[in-house]
Structure 1
Amino acid sequence: MSAGPSSSVEARADLEHLQQTVAMNEALMLAAVRQHELTEAAENLNAQLRAEIAQREEAEKALGASEEHLRALFDAAPMAVFACDSEGIIQHFNVRAVELWGREPVRGV
């Protein structure tokens, strides 16, 4: 028995369907691989950001402790101490400065 034209058409349609299925599967596999790569990259970036945030928090904590220490030294100094900005305007002063001048200095003037 010979295959008629209709079975040849069916075979061609089956082959085209199979080729389309293979192409879709390849595309899905590539998309899955790409998604995995993007997820891994995002996770790496998130880990870096968490590390940077932790470093910044540690630096802020250390800066706060340093400022507190400086403030304690400033306030406990046995002599008059005042701090001016770059234009010479008084911004901070300690108790001994008040005692020396007999009044609180005017800030920002």
Structure 2
Amino acid sequence: MHQRTPIERTSGAKESVVHALMMTETGVPVVVGLLARVNPLVLTTMGAAAIAHGATAGLASAAQGTSAATRISRRLACVIGLGVAMPYAKELRRCVRARPGAV
């Protein structure tokens, strides 16, 4: 992605803020997963963070240009994002079903 964008136009404070936000969206679920007992709330937090991370990446790339290569890379990012989020959804479903009294 970065090789196809004009760095003189896209770098700077805005780019740094986007990367800081994306690192936070990645770091929070990692810390929660390491420190908390894994339960549906933790898995929901992780899944939401993965979706937010993908949305931030999509919005940031959309603001930088709309060439054909960029559109393809955005689609690829969406597919990869779904691949990241799906295991969280599956594990969340298992946790909910394993709870006593769950349907």
TM-score normalised by L of structure 2: 0.30
> Whose radius of gyration is greater, 1 or 2?
1
Greater percentage in helix:
2
> Which of 1 and 2 has higher RCO (CA within 8 Å, sep 6+)?
2
Greater percentage in strand:
1
